[in-house]
Amino acid sequence: MSYKLGEVILSRDTIARRVKELASEIVADNGTDNGLVVVGILTGASFFLTDLVRELPEELDARIDFMSVASYGDGTKTSGVVRIFHDLKSSIEGKNVIIVEDIVDTGLTLSHLLDILKSRKPASLKVCVLLDKYERRQTEVKVDYCGFRIPDKFVVGYGLDCAGKWRHLKDIKYVVEE
């Protein structure tokens, strides 16, 4: 099966405005006194995380760490099996943590990840996602900060890919089967 790019659903300007708003929401909720560990989920969230942390005020002690987990193979449907490829380098015990994810749909990967990180005893654990395909939820997960709710269509760009393609696009576009 092959795919081609469809229409733009979120422009780079729209994304940039919302990322700035999300950073403001995070600071309003968490303040700047206690520090924050921002956990980016590789590879898709790297673009979003980079722009998000650049919008945080410099007086906030924001530390960045990464995890790599996957439930997608080379297709457009989740496999349902969550695998961890790269774990955190530092302890999060007693720290305020925000998971930054590019997209949540079924909720299976994020639910699994939350269970893992909760077991490490952070002071707080919140979730920030750029995109939410809420209608695909198979398990309930709390999303504390959401960029955009989108319909159940496969999307690429701004870190999101289709079998490794189109991650570099500045806008987010639909993918169409050919």
Domain boundaries, the chain: 12-150
The single residue of 105, 132, 144, 152 carrying the catalytic annotation is: 105
Q: Model-level pTM?
A: 0.91
* Pair 126, 146: CB distance under 8 Å: no
pLDDT in tens, 153-165: 999 999 999 988 9
Q: How far does the chain reach from its first CA to its final CA, in angstroms?
A: 7
CATH code at 12-150: 3.40.50.2020
**Quick check: is 171 catalytic?**
no
What residue type is 113 in one-letter code?
Answer: L
pLDDT in tens, 96-140: 999 999 999 989 889 999 999 999 999 999 999 999 999 999 999
Q: Where are the alpha helices (DSSP H) in the chain?
A: 12-30, 46-54, 108-118
